[in-house]
Amino acid sequence: MKIHQLSLFLENKPGRLSEPCKVMASAGINILTLSLADTQQFGILRLIVRDWQKAKAVLEKAGCIVNMTEVVAIEVEDKPGGLARVLSAIEEGGINIEYMYAFTFRTGDRAVIVFRFDNPDAAVELLRSHKINVIGSVELYERAEA
Amino acid sequence: MTEFAIENRIRDSAETLPREELKALQLQRLRDLVARIVHVPFYKEAFARERITPETIRSLDDLRRLPFTTKADLHDYYPLGFLAVSREQVARFHGSSGTTGKPTIVAYTRADLDLWANLCARFLVAGGLRPEHTVHIAFGYGLFTGGFGLHYGVEKVGAAILPAASGNTARQIMLLEDLESDVLICTPSYALNIAEAAREGGKNPRSFNLKLGYFGGEMWTEDMRLQIEAELGIHALNNYGLSEVIGPGVSGECAAREGMHIQEDHFIVECVDPDTLDPVPDYEYGELVFTTLTKEAMPLLRYRTRDIAALDSCMCPCGRTTVRMSRVPGRTDDMLIIRGVNVFPSQIEEALLQVEGAAPHYLIEVERPGVMDQMSVKVEVRPESFSDKMSEMQALHDAIDRRIQSITGIRATVELVAPQTLERSAGKAKRVVDHRCEKRPSRLDSRGTADR
């Protein structure tokens, strides 16, 4: 029930962000969502794409450093308190959130948020026990294409 | 780790001469030297100019009246302008690379060759070499003094030699295993290459029969020593020399490993400020200058090595009375001065080797945007240490920052860059870009004497 996220090291220089995007565009890879974490010195670009293995290959070939990390996509009610509910369940379980970011699409009144946990398997189990909907890759891509 | 323990053995009584006797010996040899080289054109001219004769050398302090000799001087008299004997008396030539394309040629008489072998034998014995050992020499055998120098030194001690020379690492590993050599002699970086190649071939380099290694020919740090000792399971010892002075054998570590003993009965060493040429006190870094007291074919007075080191005149626990030199952290030509502090590129390298996840590929840039010097260090991120977590990347960045500050004493701006973006080269990679406009004072051009 985990999603594959790619992360790229970006030097803090002009053009470093557009380069990987161009590389993926030429390979016909569509970005489903992304997040850019930055410091003054460098950035980490996190991407969710449909075919992560192909994306990793083309990016590495173009000279990028790419990591793959397993993250968890969680369905959150798109109304006040929706996210808070999910977060309190996670906190109760004592699980640490490294970072999170939202998907650009939503269906009906539900948004999808990506979470990076230190222990994704334990997180998935905990969320399920709270009846919070965890979305796997297949369903995620279907929703993205819709 | 090897069970082999290094015994403290001293080969020659000259190594334990009381200081007063040693100084008297040096003075007598210095006078003889001045007499022997009066007809060498460079020295003839300098002696006439400064009115120097053997009689005017009354104490070792008079050394300061003698001229310095630089690499540029040797180059001006290429190939054999510094020869002090007739051509027929030369038994061997060697050479070292010059920065201008022509090598620096050095020459040896039979007596010089015997001296050279004995000087190497001294540090080999000091480090624990025994006649029953087999020594694998992986230095190039050719113009370079390392191969032949160590070869005859080992022969003097009576040990067996496997002259593996350089290159073909796979074959070197096969020979190390099959011949079960006890001792390895090569550059420190080649030792690490051998260990890595062994592991890549599925072998454990600690399983070789090696007990001991003598490494030199390039700068290396204490950390690298620990790394070599861990990876090969041996004791690793340092030795120093340069072909202009004689080759390897100028100095070497004893079992105490607290500095390298300089063979003072054959060389007078000075440690000077590279700008003022005044002597620096013990424990302070300065440029090493050697006067070769007993070499016959190409003796040199006050040869400026451009190697930086510090001297220690205190008594060594091993019992030798000779002065010890530190490792050479850098050369006068690569040293940088940043906000008044001496910084060597090798220090940056050491810092990076100490931080897990930093590749030792770096570029130092120095600028002076306002009134203060600023140093920035670009460091390549190793692909395997790239993390999706900002906290880990930040921690890597901060660890590098702290380590550089701890080793150099100054704060640099650290920039992590993508792998393969910094220049690679087969030889010495370009590590420093100095953007500061003012010309750094040249330390190589001074040919003056101490009377300046």
Instruction: Categorize the per-residue pLDDT at B425 as very low, low, confident or very high, splitting at 50, 70 and 90.
Output: low
CA distances in angstroms from B23 to B119, B153, B321, listed in the order given: 19, 26, 11
**Amino acid B452: pLDDT:** 23
What number of other Cβ atoms are within 10 A of residue B278's Cβ? 12
**Amino acid B101: pLDDT:** 61
Cβ-Cβ contacts under 8 Å for A3 (sequence gap 6 or more) = A48, A70, A71, A72, A73, A114, A135, A136, A137, A140
Bridge partners for B303 per DSSP: B69, B290
pLDDT-above-70 percentage for chain B: 93
**Amino acid B438: pLDDT:** 47
**Amino acid B437: pLDDT:** 55
pLDDT above 70: residue B356? yes
8 Å CB contact of A37 and B390: yes
Burial of A133 from C-beta contacts in 10 A (0-12 / 13-18 / 19+): middle
Residues 21-40 of B with CB under 8 A from A: none
- For residue A23, the distance in angstroms to the closest alpha carbon of chain B comes to 16
Residue A65 has its nearest CB partner, among B414, B415, B419, at B419
Residue A41 has its nearest CB partner, among B389, B391, B415, at B415
**Amino acid B451: pLDDT:** 27
**Amino acid B359: pLDDT:** 73
B363, B388, B397: best to mutate for the A interface, most A CBs within 10 A: B388
CA nearest neighbour of B157 among B136, B137, B179, B132: B132
Buried b (16+ CB within 10 A) or exposed e, B169-191: beebbebbeeeebbbbbbbbebb
pLDDT above 90: residue B163? yes
| Domain chopping of chain A, boundaries | 3-69, 71-135
**Amino acid B440: pLDDT:** 39
**Amino acid B450: pLDDT:** 27
**CA-nearest residue of chain B to A97?**
B389
Tell me: the pLDDT tens digits for B280-338? 999 999 999 999 999 999 999 999 999 999 999 999 999 999 999 999 988 887 777 78
Q: What is the mean pLDDT of residues B152-172?
A: 95
B418 touches chain A (CB under 8 A): yes
Within 8 A of B419 by CB-CB distance, chain A residues are 65
Q: Which residue has the higher pLDDT, A81 or A106?
A: A81
Tell me: the pLDDT tens digits for B203-258? 999 999 999 999 998 778 888 899 999 999 999 999 999 999 999 999 999 999 99
**Amino acid B445: pLDDT:** 29
Instruction: Categorize the per-residue pLDDT at A84 as very low, low, confident or very high, splitting at 50, 70 and 90.
Output: very high
pLDDT above 90: residue B422? no
Tell me: the pLDDT tens digits for A37-53? 888 788 899 999 989 99
A-B C-beta contacts closer than 8 Å: 49
Q: What is the mean pLDDT of residues B392-417?
A: 90
**CA-nearest residue of chain A to B388?**
A7
Q: Which residue has the higher pLDDT, B25 or A62?
A: B25
Domains defined along chain B, listed by start: 1-333 (3.40.50.12780), 336-430 (3.30.300.30)
B391 touches chain A (CB under 8 A): yes
- The answer to whether residues B78 and B104 touch, using CB atoms and an 8 Å cutoff, is yes
Residue A41 has its nearest CB partner, among B416, B418, B421, at B416
**Amino acid B98: pLDDT:** 55
Within 8 A of B387 by CB-CB distance, chain A residues are 7, 67
Query: Phi-psi region for residue B199, left (φ > 0), alpha (ψ -120 to 50) or beta?
Result: alpha
pLDDT above 80: residue B407? yes
8 Å CB contact of B390 and A46: no
- The answer to whether residues A71 and A18 touch, using CB atoms and an 8 Å cutoff, is no
B439 touches chain A (CB under 8 A): no
Q: Is B305 helix (H, G, I), strand (E, B) or coil?
A: strand
A67, A71, A115: best to mutate for the B interface, most B CBs within 10 A: A67
Q: What is the mean pLDDT of residues A119-142?
A: 89
**CA-nearest residue of chain B to A16?**
B418
Instruction: Give the right CATH number for A71-135 from 3.40.50.300, 3.90.870.10, 3.30.200.20, 3.30.70.260.
Output: 3.30.70.260
ipTM over 0.90: no
Amino acid residing at B247:
G
Q: Which residue has the higher pLDDT, B144 or B27?
A: B27
Burial of B48 from C-beta contacts in 10 A (0-12 / 13-18 / 19+): exposed
B415 touches chain A (CB under 8 A): yes
Q: What is the dihedral of CA B364, B368, B374, B377, to 10 degrees?
A: -20
- The answer to whether residues A103 and A113 touch, using CB atoms and an 8 Å cutoff, is yes
Q: Where are the beta strands (DSSP E) in chain A?
A: 3-11, 31-38, 42-49, 66-77, 97-107, 110-117, 134-135
The β-bridge relationship of strands B341-343 and B336-338 is: antiparallel
- For residue A44, the distance in angstroms to the closest alpha carbon of chain B comes to 7
- Which of B163-167, B230-234, B333-337, B446-450 bottoms out in mean pLDDT, i.e. has the lowest? B446-450
Q: Which letter does DSSP use for residue B103 in this model?
A: P
Q: Quote the mean pLDDT of chain A.
A: 89
- Taking the CA atoms of B343, B345, B348 and B354 in sequence, report the sign of the dihedral they define: negative
8 Å CB contact of B381 and A9: yes
**Amino acid B278: pLDDT:** 95
What is the model's pTM? 0.67
| Residue B21 token pair | 């006797």
Instruction: Give the right CATH number for A3-69 from 3.40.50.970, 3.30.930.10, 3.30.1540.10, 3.30.2130.10.
Output: 3.30.2130.10
